[in-house]
Structure 1
Amino acid sequence: MLAFTFPGQGSQRPGMGRPWQGHESWELVDEASEVAGRDVGALLCDADADELKDTRNAQLATFVSSLMVLDAAERLGIEPSFCAGHSLGEYTALTATGALGFDDGVRLVCARAAAMHDAGLERPGTMAAVHGLDDEHVDVACRRADSDVWVANYNAPGQVVIAGSPEGVEAASVHAKDLGAKRVMTLPVSGAFHTPFMTAARDRLRAALAEAQPRDTDIPVVSNVDATAHDRGDEWASLLSAQLSSPVRWKQSLLTLSDAGVIDFAELGPGGVLTGMAKRTVKDARTISVATPEDLDKLLEWVTAGSPTGGAQLDGEHLFATERIVVSPAAGIFTLLGNLSEGSPIEVGTIIGHVAEQEVRSPFAGLLQSYIAVDTERVTARQPIAWLRTS
């Protein structure tokens, strides 16, 4: 079975949205900008590393970027059996399954990011990654520090994140090294996330969660808080509230998915951190990270090489990993471009025709095999326009 996983804050990269400009899934960026009242496209394409470190920017950019990748994967006909997300990624997972509407997801992420940013200013803190030490000994290191420091993320075997006051994290880091940690690295974050330092953010988030009213879903989402799969909407308000000041049990969540029969893990969104964690945690896991339109071909081939009749469901021509269909973005009269013919090379974003006044851009790279729609034919939205074969 297949699980979609979604990254959290810290996976963002400058320019991560540029490869998606011109792709049909870019429409989500415009919708998110309208809901958030911000230029999300500028965050994805133009913001530098310092601007993206701001919690309010990092969370919104990562959330929208991941959903854009998800939208592109869904257009290929690929569906998961489970979803899960790391910290912020849990909101992406809930939006992916329909527990949250897209607009509600954007508003919640904005509210969460603002609350966490302010909580970080109110109680300054930091985080550090401890490598090469088991969970129990990391917890002992925090206790021996005798200060405000706690385990914040159980990421993978031998990879745990601690958080708290700067002096608490420093003291716990020393004890962790004494207990055998191979390395302790301070993380570039603006607060002690997933600790009691975020209590003020929890109080603010509850009001936004009450308005969102998460719904029941067919696809379960494994929660960070209890590493259990949930499909009832009425359980998520308390889980998301608790998540802010509770450790992310990501390793345990991966093991829950493994116990449920999941062997395939597709990380959708920027970075590739979760892919490495799955490899370290689940024996014989098959993993892939999808961050750009060029990765979509790899995703299709990866799914086809696995078990397409299991949790990953493919429809029709999508079973052929070398062929692609470009569909109409709207209803109207189709007009083709006279400079394209059979065998013409097509890049991602190439205009292959128009429907009414809208451009028909290819979300794939390849060679034009043939047009399906006839010039001046009236087409409907999502109607096949042309065949492409990967070069």
Structure 2
Amino acid sequence: MKQAYIFPGQGAQFVGMGQDLYQHSDATKAMFEQANEILGFRITDIMFSGTEEDLKQTRVTQPAIFLHSVILAAALGKGFRPQMVAGHSLGEFSALVAAGSLSFADGLQLVAKRANAMQKACELQPSTMAAILGLDDFTVEDICQRVSDVVVPANYNCPGQLVISGTLEGVDRACTLLLEAGAKRALKLNVGGAFHSPLMESAKIELQEAIEAVVIKQPVCPIYQNIDAKAYTDPAHIKHNLIEQLTGAVRWTQTVIHMIEDGATSFIEVGPGNVLQGLVKKVNRQVETSAAVL
């Protein structure tokens, strides 16, 4: 019996997030204030009392979710004893910090650089993502390959829910074909661009240098990484997988399956929202899910 700690990605943000953590202790307040200094703007003001629109900017959203997750993990103290960790997209950085592989400051700086690099890549070419519901993975993969514009599977969230990513034309064409093939729905997502697709190549190049320069230590437990859903503890492998993550798919379904195969019986979501708990239940109804609470 093992507890798996999982960390959410972009989309889990909400106005007021982290305010209770800020007030929890001098230590958590100090982490938020350190973050304000590192980022060069008071992200706490936006998190606690900004508008939804302010919070939706990629340069704010990603550090905000990261901060909520890692400060919550730190506040749990001895109550946080992970035997395995994983994070969805951005959440992989939170998981690495929580598992002692990355320092808090280095993790935040990488997340800020990642957000800015992704924002720039989005501006280079209009692109989008869409959630495809009610089709098997193979059919979605096959149809994406048949579209001449760039469109690829980006997030394997749970059985019957796969997000595709690509150019506006590629995603539109794929959605039409997928609905014809029997998809229940094809929902365009309100995102800035084609995350986890080849269109993020410029962001990957920009972030690669920063990841290669940072110190990554052996985590206290295995981290299951997005790129291939396998468990890693070797810093060199972890770095390589982090670099590949921006243009590769998030294999969340496979990650949850592998964690269960390796003994996970309960999944605890650390951070804002409860999206990952829902996805885990759709992969396997037998396992327990809960939110980390102070």
| TM-score normalised by structure 2 residue count | 0.95
Q: Is the 8 A contact 2:131 2:162 kept in 1?
A: yes
Letter in 1 for 2:266: D
3-state secondary structure, aligned to 2:244: helix
Q: Bigger radius of gyration, 1 or 2?
A: 1
**Structure 2 partner of 1:72:** 75
CA distance in 2, matches of 1:267, 1:49: 23
- For 1:144 and 1:74, locate their aligned partners in 2 and report how far apart those are by CA, in whole Å: 50
1:49 aligns with 2:52: yes
Q: CA RMSD in A?
A: 1.3
Structure number with higher strand proportion: 1
After TM superposition, the structure 1 = structure 2 runs for residues 306-325 of structure 1, keeping only pairs within 5 Å, are: none
2:73–2:80 Cα contact (<8 Å) kept: no
Identity %: 39
Question: RCO higher in 1 or 2 (8 Å CA, sep ≥ 6)?
Answer: 2
Deviations 1:162-218 (A, max 9, x none): 010111111111111111111111111111000000000011101111221211122
Deviation string 1:346-374 (CA, Å, 9 cap, x unpaired) is xxxxxxxxxxxxxxxxxxxxxxxxxxxxx
Is contact 2:47–2:55 with CA below 8 Å preserved after alignment? Answer: no
Does the 8 A contact of 1:33 with 1:40 survive in 2? yes
Retained in 2: the 8 A contact 1:44–1:65?
A: no
Give CA deviations for 1:74-113 in whole Å, capped at 9, x if unaligned: 25x2311001000000000001111111110011001111
**1:195-206 to 2 correspondences below 5 Å:** 195-206=197-208
Q: Does the alignment pair 1:121 with 2:123?
A: yes
- Unpaired segments of 5 or more residues in structure 1? 297-391
Deviation of 1:140 (Å): 2.1
Displacement after TM superposition at 1:256 (Å): 0.8
Distance 2:43 2:254 in 1: 33
Q: Equivalent residue for 2:33?
A: 30
1:80-99 aligned at under 5 Å gives the runs 80-99=82-101
Q: Secondary structure at the match of 2:76?
A: helix
Tell me what 2:268 maps to: 266
Deviation at 1:28, TM superposition (A): 1.8
Of Structure 1 and Structure 2, the greater helix share is in 2
> 1:207 corresponds to which residue?
209
Confirm or deny: 8 A CA contact 1:15 1:45 kept in the other structure.
yes
Provide the C-alpha distance between the structure 1 equivalents of 2:165 and 2:185, rounded to a whole number of angstroms.
16
Cα distance in 2, alignment partners of residues 78 and 210 from structure 1: 28
- Give the Cα–Cα distance (whole angstroms) in 1 for the partners of residues 33 and 126 of structure 2: 34
- Specify the SS of the correspondent of 2:187: strand
Distance in 2 of aligned mates of 1:114 and 1:99: 23
Find the aligned partners of 2:63 and 2:197 in 1 and give their Cα distance. 21
In the TM superposition, residue 266 of structure 1 has moved relative to its aligned partner by: 0.4
| Cα drift, residue 249 of structure 1 | 0.5
Question: Which residue number corresponds to residue 136 of structure 1?
Answer: 138
What stretches of structure 2 of length at least 5 have no aligned partner? none
Cα distance in 2 between the residues matched to 1:281 and 1:72: 29
Contact between 2:22 and 2:32, CA under 8 Å: does it hold in 1? Answer: no
Q: Deviations over 1:6-56 (max 9, x none)?
A: 000111112212333411133321121122222121121122111122111
Could you say which residue in structure 2 is the equivalent of 1:305?
none
Residue 12 of structure 1 aligns with which residue?
Answer: 13
* Residues 132, 180 of structure 1: 8 Å contact kept: yes
CA distance in 2, matches of 1:255, 1:105: 27
The total of aligned residue pairs comes to: 291
- The match for 2:227 among 225, 228, 236 is 225
Normalised by the size of structure 1, how large is the TM-score? 0.72
